[in-house]
Each structure stands twice: as structure tokens, then as C-alpha cells.
Amino acid sequence: MFNVSAVAADANHGDIPQRLLQRLDDLGVVLAQRGDALALLGLGSVGVDLGRLDDHSDLDFFVVVDDGAKQRYLDSIDWLEELDAVVFSFPNSVDGRKVLFADGLFAEYAVFTLGELRGASYPPGRVVWRRDDAPAGLESGRVPGPSPYDNAEYQLNEALTNLYVGLHRDLRGERLSAMRFIQVHAVDRVLTFLHLTEPGAGRQQDLFVVERGAERRFGPDVLPLAQLVPGYAHNREAALALLAWLEARADVNEVVAAAIRQLALEPSGERD
């Protein structure tokens, strides 16, 4: 059993960004000594986006290993425990785990063979360590090609239908499902709509997670999240706020807009 307060104290001790980078460098040394690892790639704020690294960052990394070695890295965390004691871990995918070290550093990682990595979609990373015979370009990443749905009209209409379906769920009493349609799915479409129509906002922080860094890219004057995401008990208010936001920025179908407003104002005994 580990001491939670001790972990918390360690987590607040020292310069966390530097400790994170040092932890990755130390992991590279460990991997180099094992003989069955090809490369270590840092991702996100410990990858190519070092400017985002702060006291709230964690370790995201890929370990690339020889054919036949992957299962050893998945079955045992002895290679991680050479860095520091691991006080909590669990497999979060077929390829990796999430771990909490005793000193408070948190990590999420995946292990791939070279063939698996070449077939995977992932954002550009940073080579922390590579074996001499590892091929060049592992850090380049591979993102999905453009989708036929990457256009503002699709995002607008998908958001509207999210509102419509969500309000029906709310009237049925399925308020949690309604909240997800209105305050999650529709808001995701709004974020993509802004990404497509506000090029001056800068690049998307995470190509695979649309909400990351939204507050930094779009201020409250552009994206009033407090109104669009007011919480579980305010689905109808959120739907009306989001509809008004869309109408101020796009040509919204009047029939759909009227239907959404009617649903939002319809009395229901299920709400209380």
C-alpha cells in the first residue's frame, strides 16, 4: 500500500517539466540497454509541442520494439520500474498502459513493432532515443487523409441535428444522453466549424481530440462555452444558446431552427 500524501508531496516538488523530460531521457537509456527496443518517441507536450509543457503535463510516448518483443513490454513493467516505483498501472488498450510513478509523474504509453507503427495513425512526435539501425522518419507521424465531411456545411448541419435529437431525448427524460448530444457532440461540431472558418485562430492542438486547447484558440467572445455547456440540468438552455450562436454565423435552415425552438420550449413533466 502506498502513501497518497507522499505521492502528492513528491508531485509538487521540483520543476515538473524538467523532470518529465529527464524521465524520458532516462527511459531512453534503459531501452538502449535492453537490446530489443528500436526507438522511443515523445508525443504531445513532451514531443514536438514542448512550448505547451507545464506542471500539468504528463508523459505520452511510444516504444518501438523488435518483432517478438512487444508482449514482453506489455506483460511486465520492470523496464519502467528501473526509473521509479510504479504505484498504479493498468492496461488501457491492447497496445499500452497508463501508469502513476511514486514521485507523482503520470504516463500513458503504447508499444508497437515497426510494422504496426507504419500502419498506425498518430501525430508527429520527437525522437528521444533510437537504435543505430532504426529507420529514419519514425517521428513524422501519419494522420488520416482529408475527409469529405471536413467542410463547414456538414459541421453546421450535424450540430443542428444533434440539437434536435438531444432535445427529444431530454423530453423523454433521458437527460444524460441529451446532455451528450447537445453539450458534447454538437459542441464538437462547433469547434470543427470554427477550425474551418476561423483560420486566424491557429493550428489545432491535437489532431485527434478536437476540444484540446479550445479556450486558448477561441476566446469567450468567439466561443461562449459557459453558455454552450451549462451542465446536465440545462440542456434546453444550451440548445437555444447554441442555435443562436450558429444563426449568427451561418445560414441555418429555418424549418430545422423552428423545430429546435419548439422542442426547447415544449413543457415536459419529465424534467423535474
**Distance separating alpha carbons of residues 106 and 194, to the nearest angstrom:** 32
What gap in Å lies between CA 6 and CA 198, rounded to an integer?
Answer: 46
* 160 or 122, greater pLDDT: 160
Query: 2 pLDDT band (50/70/90 cuts)?
Result: very low
Q: What is the pLDDT of residue 271?
A: 45
- CA distances to 94, 194, 230 from 66, rounded to whole Å, are 17, 42, 49
**The three three-digit cell numbers of residue 87, written as one number:** 504505484
The domain boundary, picked from 108, 140, 172, lies at 140
The residue with greater pLDDT, 185 or 216, is 185
Residue 255 has pLDDT above 70, yes or no: yes
Which of 119, 140, 161 is at the close of a domain?
A: 140
Secondary structure element (H or E) that encloses residue 100, with its range? strand 96-101
d(CA 272, CA 269): 7
Q: What is the pLDDT of residues 57-100, one digit of tens each?
A: 999 999 999 999 999 999 999 999 999 999 999 999 999 999 99
Question: What's the pLDDT band for 263 if we cut at 50, 70, 90?
Answer: very high
**pLDDT per residue as tens digits for the range 123-136:** 889 999 999 999 99
The cell for 153 is: 456545411
Domain assignment present for 147 = no
Alpha carbons 36 and 42: distance in angstroms, whole number: 19
Is the same domain home to 9 and 134? yes
Together in a domain, 15 and 111: yes
Number of domains in the chain: 2
Q: What's the pLDDT at 4? A: 47
pLDDT in the model for residue 211:
54
On whether residue 19 sits in a domain, the answer given is yes
The answer to whether residues 34 and 109 belong to one domain is yes
Residue pair 80/59 in contact (Cβ under 8 Å)? The answer is no
With 0-12 / 13-18 / 19 or more C-beta atoms within 10 angstroms meaning exposed / middle / buried, residue 186 is: buried
Per-residue pLDDT of 23-47, as tens digits, reads: 999 999 999 999 999 999 999 889 8
If asked whether residues 132 and 53 sit together in one domain, one would say yes
Q: What is the residue-averaged pLDDT of the chain?
A: 87
Q: Is pLDDT at 6 greater than 50 in this prediction? A: no
Domain assignment present for residue 145? The answer is: no
Q: What is the CATH number of the domain that holds 97?
A: 3.30.460.10
Q: Indicate if 53 and 165 belong to the same structural domain.
A: no
Cα(9)–Cα(104) distance, integer angstroms: 8
> Quick check: 13 pLDDT over 80?
no
Q: Are residues 63 and 159 in the same domain?
A: no
Residue 218: predicted pLDDT: 72
Is the model more confident about 77 or about 122? 77
- The reply to whether 135 and 200 lie within a common domain is no
Gap between the terminal Cα atoms of the chain: 44
Residues spanned by the domain of 264: 152-271
Is residue 136 in a domain? yes
**Rounded CA separation 130/28 (Å):** 8
The predicted structure's pLDDT at residue 107: 96
Q: State whether 240 and 162 are in the same domain.
A: yes
Q: Are residues 119 and 170 in the same domain?
A: no
- Which of 20-29, 51-60, 148-157 tops mean pLDDT? 20-29
Residues 17 and 129 in one domain: yes
Distances from the Cα of 99 to the Cαs of 8, 58, 106, 171, 185, in angstroms? 15, 10, 6, 42, 29
Beta strands 106-113 and 96-101, pairing class: antiparallel
Both 126 and 156 in a single domain? no
Q: Which of 107, 140, 173 is the last residue in one of the domains?
A: 140
123 with 170, same domain: the answer is no
- The verdict on residue 42 lying in a domain is yes
- Whether 207 has a pLDDT exceeding 60, the answer reads no
Percent above pLDDT 90 for the chain? 67
